[in-house]
Amino acid sequence: MKLDVAIIGAGPAGLTAGIFVRRAGLKVACFEKLAIGGQAALTYSIDNFPGFEKISGFELMDKISTQAKNLGVQIEYCSVEKVEQLNNKFILTTSMGKVEANKIIIACGCKVRRLGLDNEQQLTGHGISYCASCDGNFFKGKTVAVVGGGNSAIADVEYLHNIAKKIYLINRRDVFRAGEFQLNKIKAYKNVEIITPAVITKFCEKGGELAGIEINHAGATKTIKLDGVFLAIGSYPELDFINFNLNLDQAGYIIVDQNMQTSVKNVYACGDVVSKNFRQVINACAEGATAGNSCVYN
């Protein structure tokens, strides 16, 4: 297969990039190893995407992918195992064979770190969330837990403290990685209870929805009834398949300029794999549009 542009990933960023590339008449394909929509498709409800007061992540991603397909964007369900630079071309080794492309867009997102408990996957979107700013509003007046000890966890508590009735902040250690100023700020909130050292050992469910958690707190088992859990234990990009050097930040995310251009010519990146502070479907789409447009005109 020979392409003008190969897009690695079919989440909101990759699909939007494909739409803009295809509208310019170029031959483009998105390569997706899991399911269309990425993490966004797992979001139970999205109420901050313009044009939709409320829509499920799956439905929104279905609409975007349908639009992309109708324009002629190829969707290939396969894994990209290696990307090499050969002269002025890029060779993708995929599970379905070799692909040659003039330009590539990396939109493979990042993987959230999970606790790895038995029913964690099934309860994702049904009480378990990895994004407080995405899903926090659905827990207004309810009891939730935030898990983690870094700045992301503290930021989640900060975001949720005016929304939730009660917040448990659970950290596996007594020491937090977050800054002291931020930590002292949330300690002053009356609806926040900090539990350390503690780890979740079980997600309790009822009727397919999260009903509570079982924790090991300083060696003792304790059950807490709650409505939601926000896991803020980190995320990471998977870029081992790239066989050339890209400029990355300290956490391993790709550094891009305002055109979503990476440090390598004709290689662009967008979405959650990019180094930034704000990760939402809306800005993933905006970055995808920019990356697609840059492929056409740069």
Q: What was the pLDDT predicted at 279?
A: 80
The mean pLDDT of 235-244, rounded to a whole number, is 90
pLDDT bucket at 56, cuts 50 / 70 / 90: confident
**What's the pLDDT score for residue 40?**
82
What pLDDT does 243 receive?
93
Domains 2-110+237-297 and 113-231 are alike in CATH topology: yes
The whole-chain average pLDDT of the chain stands at 93
Please check whether residue 259 is in contact with residue 298, taking contact to mean a CB–CB distance below 8 angstroms.
yes
Confidence of residue 44 (pLDDT cuts 50, 70, 90): low
The second-level CATH assignment, the architecture, of 113-231 is: 3-Layer(bba) Sandwich (3.50)
The domains of the chain are located at: 2-110+237-297, 113-231
Question: Which residue is associated with the tokens 């099934």?
Answer: 122
**CATH top-level class of 2-110+237-297:** alpha beta
End-to-end CA distance of the chain: give it in Å, rounded.
23
**Average confidence (pLDDT) over 142-166:** 92
Higher pLDDT, residue 35 or 42? 35
Token representation of residue 126: 């049904």
Quick: pLDDT tens for 216-233: 998 999 999 999 999 988
Q: What is the pLDDT of residues 163-182, one digit of tens each?
A: 999 999 999 999 998 888 88
Q: What is the pLDDT of residue 37?
A: 87
Chain position carrying tokens 């956490």: 251
pTM over 0.95, yes/no:
no
